[in-house]
Structure 1
Amino acid sequence: MSTFYWSAKTFVVAPATRVLFRPWVKGLGNVPASGPAILACNHLSVSDSVFMPAMLDRQVHFLAKKEYFTGPGVKGWVTRKFFEAANQLPMDRSGGAASLRSLEAGVDCLRRGDLLGIYPEGTRSPDGRLHRGKIGVAKLALATGAPVVPIAMIGTDRVQPIGRSLPSIRRLGMIFGEPLDFSDRVADADDPRVLREVTDEVMEAIRRLSGQEYVDAYAGDVKAGRAVAPPRRRPGA
């Protein structure tokens, strides 16, 4: 475990999170006490990567967008060193072969017996709804046989919405679901149909925990204007 990570989490991040944001947590016992597991989480705020690991005794490695590691100048250097010290792993989100190569760092992490955090949506939700998952979570699960723990972050979009630099002080929550075992499908790790099925099962587990409305479009495409999300459902509709 990184000394920086352990010290910052134990003496700063976890105490501050508990005192200031008073998080309520359900299902914490669903995270394995040892051995590999994929923590698959909805993504409402940049602070999700702070609040969720703060509630766990174990270290969590996250796949972080590669832009955090490639910024220019002094600011870029400081940012890169911070994410490296926090054991964040660079993830290429451009798709195709580059993204698949990036997943190898996650595979190595799981094969070491560590916890790996991943946001299957690929980016923060632009509208608070749950969007279509990318198949990276399935590739990781079938490549390693590691269980997938679905996680719902609740209210973090109100604590720190997109565009806000500092979080507001208000309560948040998180729910850890029962681990999903896909070890019976490891032999089909290269089957696109199976990869989509596994990903959709993970997203459905997250949706049940979070209560979010589901949008069958990638969040990144919605943000970029390449896809149009359907109107929000009216309550009771």
Structure 2
Amino acid sequence: MRRHPRRGEAGGEVSESSLDRTPSVEAPSARGAEVGRRIGVGLMYGLWKPRVLGAWKVPTTGPVIFAVNHSHIVDGPMVIGVAPRASHFLVKKEAFVGPFGPFMHATGQLKVDRSTADRTAITRALAVLANGGVLGIFPEGTRGEGDFASLRAGLAYFAVRGNAPIVPVAVLGSSDRRGRLLKALPPLRSRIDVVFGDPFEAGDGSGRRTRKALDEATERIQKHLSAHLDHARRLTGRR
């Protein structure tokens, strides 16, 4: 039976058969991720004024996926710093340059090549979930409007294959351009809202990972994420 290709988080084609041939790799450091979280706490609360809502909804144990909207470079570090659990984010390989590369590796973040089906990144991400950890994903694949309008199927695959609930996370205020001193960063000491939503299951309970099942899961995920973003905007008064 022919396998249908699947568009993955890395931006390349991913198929179930190709993933079965993924090489064995070491899981990222859970201790490193906790160190990264503690560093993030100091940086995020030192540079800005995060307002965190719904953090109590994050399951305290077991595998979890943070699905985060993405409109600014600071969104990932912000969630890492304010979340109640240490997390491992899938991050484009271009961010692992210069001194940032060793730091990102040391803090348990996952380098991913978006131009291909990065089987090593996929395997390491699944290892995070298999070890009961938290995997962070920007399901839109890259920075955009941060509205979850365009989702890739990689999120559904990880959720179903890793048997992990998805926690939607809305970061609001990071793309505000008013009062910036540094062009690349939100205004220093400005308020940034991070709203965690209710965890939900992506699959239909059958455990199926067929193309149709993943497409259906992606549709369910998009509805959940869009509804959470609307709720977060009403809750915070943000647009």
Asked whether the two chains share a fold, i.e. TM above 0.5, the reply is yes
Please list the CA deviations of residues 170-190 of structure 1 after superposition, one character each: whole Å capped at 9, or x if unmatched.
11101111111235445311x
Gaps in structure 1 of 5+ consecutive residues: 213-234
Which residue of the other structure, out of 148, 151, 154, is the alignment partner of 1:136? Answer: 154
Aligned to 1:94: 115
Q: Retained in 2: the 8 A contact 1:154–1:210? A: no
Deviation at residue 164 of structure 1 after TM alignment: 3.5
Quote the Cα distance in structure 1 between the aligned partners of 2:133 and 2:186: 29
Aligned to 2:195: 175
Q: Retained in 2: the 8 A contact 1:100–1:136? A: no
The residue identity in structure 2 corresponding to 1:171 is R
Deviation at residue 122 of structure 1 after TM alignment: 0.3
Which residue of the other structure, out of 115, 123, 127, is the alignment partner of 1:104? Answer: 123
Which residue of the other structure, out of 221, 225, 231, is the alignment partner of 1:202? Answer: 221
Q: Which moved more, 1:17-26 or 1:1-10?
A: 1-10
Which residue of the other structure, out of 60, 67, 79, is the alignment partner of 2:94? Answer: 67
Q: Percent identity?
A: 29
Quote the Cα distance in structure 1 between the aligned partners of 2:127 and 2:146: 32
**Residues 184/206 of structure 1: CA separation in 2 closer, same or farther (3 Å cut):** closer
Deviation at residue 84 of structure 1 after TM alignment: 0.4
Matches within 5 A, 1:218-237: none
Cα RMSD (Å) of the superposition?
2.7
> Which structure dedicates a bigger proportion of its chain to helix?
1
Quote the Cα distance in structure 1 between the aligned partners of 2:160 and 2:200: 12
**Residues 167/27 of structure 1: CA separation in 2 closer, same or farther (3 Å cut):** same
Which residue of the other structure, out of 38, 45, 51, is the alignment partner of 1:24? Answer: 51
The residue identity in structure 2 corresponding to 1:83 is M
Q: Retained in 2: the 8 A contact 1:38–1:146? A: yes
**Residues 101/192 of structure 1: CA separation in 2 closer, same or farther (3 Å cut):** farther
Residue 82 (str. 1) matches residue 103 (str. 2): yes
Which residue of the other structure, out of 125, 132, 135, is the alignment partner of 1:116? Answer: 135
Quote the Cα distance in structure 2 between the aligned partners of 1:92 and 1:44: 20
